[in-house]
Amino acid sequence: MSIFEQANEARLGALNVAPIISMPQLPNILSEWAAIVPLVCHLATHRDDHATTGKVALAGRVSVSLFPRLGSLSGLSRLIGNTRKFLDHASSRGGTSLHVWDVYWGGMFPCSNGIAVEFIIDYCQQRHGRVSTIRMPDILPELRPVPPRLSSYSSTNLSSRSSISSHGTRISSSKNGTRAPRPDPDKDSIFRFRRSQTLHVFRCFRKPGRPLKSQPSNSWSFAPHILRPLCAAVVAVALLLCGSFGTAAMLFCTAISGFAASLLVAVKRPPGYLENNEAGLPSGCMLAAAHQNATEWYLFVGDRGIVDTLLNKTMFWIPDTRTARLVGGWLRLAHFIQLAAMTFAAGQKGWDGVCLVALLAVNWLLERCANSNANLAHSWLTRECVGVEIKKFEFSGRSYMLGAIQLYSGSQTTSWMDDIITPHPRREAWLRRLFGQEPDHSSWSPADLAKIDSSARLSVEAAFVMNAELGAPTGEA
């Protein structure tokens, strides 16, 4: 039998069986190389559940790509089978998932909804282009005298000062593109142990218009979900005739999985979606970062319903129905079919391996163009009538930045920063000075008092600049 004979041609693969449609000759090196590429670079990672959660949260439906990563179908089956458990683990297993600090309520928690917020961050930054960086004041001689009580600089009357815009320096102006001169670190002692912090501020508000109340999974036309598996089936039949059995099985598997997941699994929005459940607190103020010692920070302010939904609440749930359980069971089976198809193509080599690599390339193009992360974020923002404005600030230190956020928000709660700046007598003295109270002079040396006072001054000046650039932290456009 030819299956036990040594293949003379690489195009026939390990089976050494001539296909119905004859394929051209294939170099041996290409046959060997193509066989291992998908098994090396297309495997699911610990970030896959994190990404799946974000995509479902923004799209409002479960979708399967043309060539999912090996292990992704198993993750989808777990999502459909037990949504709550899946979301609990997906929010903490993201590897680089964001941590969130609620400035108003003082809580700290991992960011909900997987990678959805990161998709929105990336999309907004790309849409706005290169945003000019506003450098916060960091030289003490430039600061105005601080009155005995700093509490007069609350967010209510920050906007009443007309001269504050001159204290924030833009690194790159949109008009002339000039760079502001930096102070000399050798002359100014404040720069000796400096580690700059970048704060990206996203002000969320509601646009005029009515958001689409119907579920996104029901508003999509049935045609794309029917035509795509039909086209995949036609291509799979052609691949079978060409002898690419592994790739054909792969296409059949993903076509059926995509059809079942998109049309048979209902994705619902939970009660209170994008709604504010705190009647006395119309605005939100939440700080997000990769970890407590980060240098890139993201501050979300504005409409509390939007901010709270994106960072804290779950954006979707999947009802536990008999149909959903059947689809989940099929996806578990489809995972093993995909595993068998990919390993078969790797063992068969020949044109089967080359076709699998070609399918991988087509899937990569589709994911980057038609199903890109930016398109998901844009569609969600448009569908829900949500607008986002961004600003970028640079601080010379982390404590100055946190103090500025505290003053800008107008919140009296300080426990939110406990995880970032460890509670310490020096921090408590700094907070007292920040709120207009004098620290205990007998407990501190003159040098310590000077540092506490300078840090409070810098925070006050930065809060002035933030209020001038952003306005009050409300959800109004």
Range with the lowest mean pLDDT among 11-15, 188-192, 234-238, 369-373? Answer: 188-192
Residue 93 confidence (pLDDT):
55
Nearest to 346 by CA among 36, 70, 68, 41: 36
- Looking at the predicted structure, is the pLDDT value of residue 340 above 80? yes
- Each residue of 219-256: pLDDT tens digit? 445 667 678 888 888 899 998 888 889 999 999 999 99
Residue 202 resides in a domain: no
- Looking at the predicted structure, is the pLDDT value of residue 215 above 50? no
Alpha helices in 42-137 (DSSP H): 48-59, 72-81, 83-90, 116-128
Do 406 and 473 share a domain, yes or no?
yes
Range with the lowest mean pLDDT among 131-145, 260-274, 294-308? Answer: 131-145
Residue 73 resides in a domain: yes
Do 339 and 242 share a domain, yes or no?
yes
Residue 198 resides in a domain: no
455 confidence band (pLDDT: 50, 70, 90): confident
**Of 347, 382, 417, which residue constitutes the final position of a domain?**
382
Cβ neighbours around 307 below 10 Å, total: 26
Do 378 and 404 share a domain, yes or no?
no
**End-to-end distance of the chain based on CA atoms, in angstroms?**
75
Residue 180 resides in a domain: no
Do 328 and 405 share a domain, yes or no?
no
**What is the pTM for the complete model shown?**
0.82
Residue 148 confidence (pLDDT):
45
Do 154 and 248 share a domain, yes or no?
no
Do 326 and 471 share a domain, yes or no?
no
> What's the whole-number mean pLDDT along residues 248-269?
92
Do 230 and 334 share a domain, yes or no?
yes
* Strands lying side by side in the sheet with 283-289: 108-110, 99-102, 283-289, 296-303, 197-206, 386-395, 133-135, 169-170
More confident residue, 147 or 293: 293
Residue 457 resides in a domain: yes
Residue 471 resides in a domain: yes
**Of 329, 350, 382, which residue constitutes the final position of a domain?**
382
Tally of structural domains, the chain:
2
Do 222 and 353 share a domain, yes or no?
yes
Range of the domain at 469: 136-166+399-477
Nearest to 262 by CA among 341, 335, 332, 318: 318
- Each residue of 63-89: pLDDT tens digit? 999 999 999 999 999 999 999 999 888
Do 323 and 462 share a domain, yes or no?
no
Do 334 and 428 share a domain, yes or no?
no
Nearest to 111 by CA among 50, 197, 60, 198: 50
Residue 7 resides in a domain: no
Do 418 and 477 share a domain, yes or no?
yes
Residue 388 resides in a domain: no
Residue 300 confidence (pLDDT):
97
Do 239 and 338 share a domain, yes or no?
yes
